[in-house]
């Protein structure tokens, strides 16, 4: 089978979950892919686990950062080894459902006007599946006001588009928002994306994590949101940026309720 997809995986201290993540790729109904694994100077056995898989499968490219560079720079390192038509993302602690690649590549093949495709995600933790997110089918610039328009780890992007926008932007400000800023760059360049209505990806997710975000991360997020909305000429950028920053002062239990409402989380998955 022709290799048409490069799967970018920045891996860091995920030795316990990496086998399940990689096994989910080898269980895909579409097998025309290679995996580019970049270990971001892990301090556990992540590299050893990755090396065992690389020795077993000839479609794995394994590289390593000499020091911890964080996700954006690590993914850019992976990009140096891409030579395929499409790029897919995957995290080392998540699971791709079996038909993910088949359905995403079919969409991009049949819809040349779209630069990327993603989908809703199933959220799970050690107790099992606990929620399903929602996704807007055809996000526009106004959807950047209150949410990230695409699930990053579940996406597939045309390689020429990723290269045209310069890959990921490396900045201390974007350590948690590199995906949001990537979507901004893609839309700013005149491209657009699509969300399938079927969850094809499972994200390992502590259900209380959003309520524990620190104020400095909220502040950074507000700065990024302001810049993005201003760059897209969306209305009221300062208002929506300030609204995001104010979430740092919202009680934890209320934040969880807001999250469930915004994402359409269903507790009884």
In tens, the pLDDT along 174-229 reads: 877 899 999 999 999 999 999 999 999 999 987 655 544 565 677 788 899 999 99
Question: Can you tell me the mean pLDDT for 245-260?
Answer: 58
- Hey, what long-range contacts does 215-224 have (CB within 8 A, 24 or more apart)? 215/248, 217/176, 218/244, 218/245, 218/247, 218/248, 219/245, 219/248, 220/173, 220/174, 220/175, 220/176, 220/177, 221/176, 221/177, 221/245, 223/173, 224/173, 224/174, 224/177, 224/180, 224/181
In tens, the pLDDT along 50-65 reads: 999 999 999 999 999 9
User: What is the domain partition of the chain in residue ranges?
Assistant: 5-208
31 pLDDT higher than 70: yes
| Contact call for residues 207 and 125 (beta carbons, < 8 A) | yes
Prediction pTM value: 0.90
- Average of per-residue pLDDT values in the chain: 90
Q: Name the band, by pLDDT with cuts 50, 70 and 90, for residue 269.
A: very low
Q: What is the CATH number of domain 5-208?
A: 3.90.550.10
Q: Which residues contact 11 (CB under 8 A, 6 or more apart)?
A: 18, 37, 38, 39, 40, 42, 46, 50, 92
Q: Name the band, by pLDDT with cuts 50, 70 and 90, for residue 1.
A: confident
Q: Please report the pLDDT score of residue 267 as a whole number.
A: 46
In tens, the pLDDT along 123-169 reads: 999 899 999 999 999 999 999 998 899 999 999 999 999 999 999 99
């Amino acid at each position: 089978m022709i290799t048409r997809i490069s799967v970018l995986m920045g891996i860091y201290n995920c030795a316990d979950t990496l086998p399940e993540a990689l096994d989910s790729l080898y269980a895909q109904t579409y097998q025309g892919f290679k995996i580019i694994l970049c270990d971001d100077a892990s301090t556990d056995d992540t590299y050893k686990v990755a090396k065992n898989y690389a020795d077993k499968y000839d479609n794995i490219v394994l590289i390593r950062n000499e020091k911890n560079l964080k996700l954006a720079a690590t993914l850019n390192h992976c990009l140096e080894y891409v030579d395929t038509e499409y790029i897919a993302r995957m995290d080392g602690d998540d699971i791709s459902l079996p038909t993910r690649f088949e359905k995403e590549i079919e969409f991009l093949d049949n819809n040349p006007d779209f630069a990327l495709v993603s989908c809703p995600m199933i959220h799970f933790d050690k107790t099992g599946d606990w929620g399903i997110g929602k996704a807007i089918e055809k996000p526009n610039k106004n959807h950047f006001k209150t949410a990230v328009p695409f699930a990053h780890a579940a996406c597939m992007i045309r390689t020429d588009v990723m290269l045209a926008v310069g890959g990921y932007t490396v900045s201390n400000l974007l350590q948690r928002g590199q995906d949001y800023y990537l979507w901004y760059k893609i839309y700013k360049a005149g491209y657009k994306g699509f969300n399938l209505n079927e969850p094809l990806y499972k994200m390992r997710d502590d259900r209380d994590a959003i309520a524990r975000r620190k104020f400095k991360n909220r502040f950074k997020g507000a700065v990024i949101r302001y810049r993005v909305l201003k760059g897209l000429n969306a209305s009221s950028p300062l208002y929506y940026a300030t609204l995001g920053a104010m979430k740092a002062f919202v009680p934890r239990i209320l934040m969880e309720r807001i999250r469930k409402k915004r994402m359409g989380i269903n507790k009884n998955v």
